[in-house]
């Protein structure tokens, strides 16, 4: 290798190192920007209420107050609201995980007349604003005497959601048809191919749908606000908002309660992060 080639190779490596360093710096900067509200929420939860509004604002507390967390549980019936939220979330996620793969599989791997039309109609429903369907749905549930129950919050999950179905359909579209045909030659029927082949290889997509469904249901505020009026059936998001509107707010305690509210979301994402990223990546391989 000539001296000139060595210099060129060295310059290339230096250039790549500089690009990589600048990229990492940009990622760190953007991460700080997006994480700053979360960091402020956590640090405020350890401040006194007066310290939270003292100028100049400081990120770290002047005096660390750990009593805000136990007192947050006394401010509202926290455990009851968390239990209500967990109940709704569990069955909502269960419904999505049961229905979404079946619908997506039928649209992408089973040949039947009208499947493309149905796929187009499902995608079209994503363009309908929720404000258009809000009043008709409320009237339906009201006529069925289901207002002030959790059924309006759980039942839609067992019919699937267009966005989740499209994500899952994209994943199945990337699975070779030869794999299903080989199973058919071996004597497997449609249900066996779905259960023993399609579901096991679609775990990343299933994880992605589960996380999305968990986030949507756990943090949902609008739907409980519409259908729940009895305070003992409140979810956490609804209970925290009512606390703000009905009482003189101790913002430090409220931030402590909000931090506990966010923790399950962080735990779920950290545990399933690898499968979540893989599911997002593979769901867009093929239209």
- Domain assignment present for residue 66? The answer is no
Specify whether 130 is located in the same domain as 16: no
CATH number for the domain including 162? 1.10.3720.10
pLDDT value of residue 279: 59
Specify whether 140 is located in the same domain as 271: yes
Residues in the chain: 287
Token digits for 266?
A: 């962080």
- Domain assignment present for residue 68? The answer is no
Domain of residue 13: give its range.
3-44
pLDDT value of residue 55: 74
Show Cβ contacts of residue 113 under 8 Å, excluding neighbours closer than 6 positions. Answer: none
Read off the pTM: 0.81
pLDDT value of residue 248: 64
Question: Average pLDDT, whole number, for the chain?
Answer: 84
pLDDT value of residue 195: 85
Specify whether 37 is located in the same domain as 90: no
- 131, 243 contact by CB (below 8 A): no
Average of per-residue pLDDT across 125-136:
88
CA atoms within 13 A on the CB side of 251: 12
- Domain assignment present for residue 127? The answer is yes
Specify whether 38 is located in the same domain as 105: no
Specify whether 106 is located in the same domain as 248: yes
In the block, tokens 């023993």 appear at 196
CA atoms within 13 A on the CB side of 211: 22
- Domain assignment present for residue 165? The answer is yes
pLDDT value of residue 284: 47
pLDDT class of 128 with cuts at 50, 70, 90? confident
Specify whether 10 is located in the same domain as 87: no
Q: Give the model confidence (pLDDT) of 235-282 as tens digits.
A: 988 888 877 765 567 788 888 888 888 888 888 888 877 766 665 555
Instruction: Calculate what percentage of the chain has a pLDDT beyond 90.
Output: 23
Specify whether 180 is located in the same domain as 86: yes
- 89, 217 contact by CB (below 8 A): yes
Q: Give the model confidence (pLDDT) of 37-84 as tens digits.
A: 888 888 888 888 888 777 777 778 888 888 888 887 877 788 899 999
- 212, 164 contact by CB (below 8 A): yes
Question: Residue 32: pLDDT above 90?
Answer: no
Q: In total, how many domains does the chain have?
A: 2
- 96, 214 contact by CB (below 8 A): no
Specify whether 40 is located in the same domain as 79: no
pLDDT value of residue 34: 85
Phi/psi of residue 62, each to 5°? -70, -30
- Domain assignment present for residue 50? The answer is no
Specify whether 114 is located in the same domain as 182: yes
Specify whether 9 is located in the same domain as 81: no
Helical segments of the chain, H only: 3-44, 68-75, 78-109, 115-125, 130-143, 151-154, 162-173, 177-185, 190-193, 199-201, 203-218, 222-227, 236-246, 251-271, 273-282
In a 3-state reduction of DSSP, which class is residue 149? coil
- Domain assignment present for residue 38? The answer is yes
Specify whether 90 is located in the same domain as 175: yes
Report which of 188, 200, 191, 173 is spatially closest to residue 102, judged by C-alpha positions: 191
- 78, 256 contact by CB (below 8 A): no
Specify whether 80 is located in the same domain as 137: yes
Q: Of residues 4 and 273, which shows the higher confidence score?
A: 273
Q: Of residues 112 and 147, which shows the higher confidence score?
A: 147
Q: Give the model confidence (pLDDT) of 188-211 as tens digits.
A: 788 888 888 888 888 888 888 998
Q: How many other CB atoms are found less than 10 A from the CB of residue 200?
A: 9
- Domain assignment present for residue 49? The answer is no
CA distance 120 to 116: 6
Ramachandran quadrant class, 272 (left: phi over 0; alpha: psi -120 to 50; beta: rest): alpha
- Domain assignment present for residue 32? The answer is yes
CA distance 73 to 81: 10
Q: Give the model confidence (pLDDT) of 77-105 as tens digits.
A: 888 999 999 999 999 999 999 999 999 98
């Amino acid at each position: 290798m000539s001296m000139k080639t060595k210099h060129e190779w060295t310059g290339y490596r230096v250039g790549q190192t500089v690009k990589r360093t600048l990229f990492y710096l940009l990622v760190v900067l953007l991460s700080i920007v997006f994480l700053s509200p979360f960091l402020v929420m956590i640090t405020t939860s350890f401040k006194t209420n007066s310290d939270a509004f003292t100028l100049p604002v400081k990120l770290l507390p002047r005096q660390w107050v750990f009593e805000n967390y136990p007192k947050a549980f006394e401010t509202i019936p926290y455990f009851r609201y968390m239990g209500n939220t967990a109940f709704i979330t569990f069955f909502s996620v269960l419904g999505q995980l049961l229905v979404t793969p079946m619908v997506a599989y039928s649209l992408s791997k089973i040949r039947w007349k009208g499947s493309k039309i149905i796929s187009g109609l499902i995608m079209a429903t994503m363009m309908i604003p929720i404000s258009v369907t809000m009043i008709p749905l409320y009237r339906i549930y009201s006529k069925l005497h289901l207002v002030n129950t959790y059924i309006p919050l759980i039942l839609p999950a067992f019919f699937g959601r267009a966005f989740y179905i499209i994500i899952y359909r994209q994943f199945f579209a990337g699975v070779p048809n030869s794999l299903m045909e080989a199973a058919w030659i071996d004597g497997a029927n449609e249900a066996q191919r779905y259960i023993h082949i399609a579901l096991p290889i679609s775990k990343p997509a299933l994880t992605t749908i589960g996380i999305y469904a968990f986030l949507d249901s756990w943090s949902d505020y609008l739907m409980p606000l519409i259908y729940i009026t009895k305070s003992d059936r409140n979810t956490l998001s609804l209970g925290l908002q009512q606390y703000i509107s009905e009482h003189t707010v101790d913002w430090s305690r409220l931030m402590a309660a909000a931090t506990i509210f966010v923790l399950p979301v962080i735990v779920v994402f950290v545990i399933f992060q690898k499968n979540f990223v893989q599911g997002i990546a593979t769901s867009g391989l093929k239209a």
